[in-house]
Amino acid sequence: MDGRARTAPARAATAGTTDAAVILRILRVCLHSGFAVLLLVAVVRLVGAGLEGTDWIAACLALVLAGVYVLGTVLEKRHSTDPSQFDPRPYSQLWLGAVCLLWLLLIWASADFVWLAFPIFFLQLHVLPRRLALPAIALSTVLVVVALWFHNAGDAGGALELPMVLGPMFGAAFAVVTGLAYRALYLEAENQRLAAEELRRTRAELARSQHDAGTLAERARLAREIHDTLAQGFSSIVLMGRSAEKALDGGDTAAARDRLRTVQETAAANLAEARNFVRALQPPDLSENAGNPAAAAPGDPLVNSLRRLCGKTETEAAARGTRLRCRFDLEGIPVDLPNPYRTTLLRAAQASLANVWVHAQAETAVVTLSFLGSEVAMDIYDDGTGFDPAAAVDRAGRPDGSGYGLRSLRERVAALAGSLDIESAPGEGTVVAIRLPLANSPVGTPPAGTSAAGTSAAREEP
């Protein structure tokens, strides 16, 4: 799903809210305009007939009514535009009561003011709860009928004519239906506004949580890479430097030179790894020309990398005075593995062999890479002192920053839906077995320079 599809609900909700808001704004303008026009017509008729007696009082009341009405609408408009402004809603019923009281006084002064009842019906429906609005409209209708009868009693001989009743009743009914529709539209617009705000808030929280999850995942990935590459490389440099110093103290300059050469190669490899973190490319050890370009053999990059790794492990172990024979075995015909598979297998071999020559005190280590059709497998065996795998997991992540190897390896393998098994016991050696499925992976054909005849041998020496 792309970004446009994800934002479609938000746009739809926003569009619906905007359309409803426009309709409501038009209805408000029509209501206020109608009230102003009807009040102006009544005042003009009152003044045009000549102000006599109580007519002056009616004109003043009309001006007061106009002022009260404008004050309430202006305050409401300012608050709706800027919520920090004074909120008139708690006083809306008092405002409506003042408007209705002034209107009642005016309809007894002149029949021209009874037509203000229609916009007042809408105000009553909008401001009052429905249980109060309907009785208020009914009472206002009765008062309009009575006012019309009172002002026309002299002309009609005191009789109540049918138009005096039907006109206000139809007007009230129309106002009720229109007002209820207005309220329904208002509630719908408000619900859409709240839904749109909730959707925007939810999308913002989702984006923030996804960003945090991505940050944590990237930190975990970098921690694994640093532990499996730079940290082990620096450890090797420290050990080789100590070995070179010991050789110099003993007068063995040839051995010291060999150790320093190894330090230089390890430092160069670590530098390549550090630069690779910036470029986010495949591990340099998987390159065909990694290490010594002249020694790079044609074939699968992973096979060549593992072969070189075994040779490097022997060299580093010898520099420490440890007799360790490290052998690489290939079974099956290599296929072109996806880069995540190559990286995981290489890192697993690096971490496992580092543990072998640092901790295991082993004499033999064997790395076996097997291509089994539906999966690729790698077993790292050593005949060292062994350990308790459960105890190793319990103490993973020591305060000094070490102890993350097994956990890092499990995370790498789990990310590719593979399996990791560790078989070991004190004094019985260790086997690290990794299985990665190939059924849903974009594996290709055997790499160039590799054939069935060339890989039929089950054992290959480094």
- State the DSSP H helix or E strand holding residue 436, giving kind and residue range, or none if neither: strand 430-437
Nearest Cα neighbor of 350 from 301, 282, 285, 256 is 285
Residues 6+ apart with CB under 8 A from 371: 331, 332, 333, 334, 335
What pairing do the DSSP bridges indicate for beta strands 419-424 and 375-382?
A: unpaired
Short-list 433, 414, 411, CA closest to 422: 433
User: What does the alpha-carbon distance between residue 310 and residue 269 come to, in Å, rounded to a whole number?
Assistant: 15
pTM flag (> 0.75): no
Crossing angle of helices 162-225/3-48, nearest 10°? Answer: 150
* One pLDDT digit (tens) per residue for the chain, 462 residues: 444 444 444 444 444 555 656 766 777 788 888 888 888 888 888 887 677 767 788 888 889 999 998 898 888 888 878 888 888 888 888 998 999 999 888 888 888 888 888 888 888 888 888 888 888 888 888 888 888 887 776 555 556 667 777 777 887 887 788 777 777 777 787 788 788 888 888 888 888 888 888 878 777 777 767 766 677 778 778 877 888 888 888 888 887 888 788 888 878 877 877 777 666 555 555 654 444 433 434 457 889 889 988 988 887 777 777 788 999 999 988 888 888 898 889 888 888 888 887 777 888 999 999 998 889 999 999 988 888 877 765 454 554 444 566 777 888 888 888 999 989 888 888 999 999 998 655 444 444 444 433 333 333 433
Q: Is 307 helix (H, G, I), strand (E, B) or coil?
A: helix
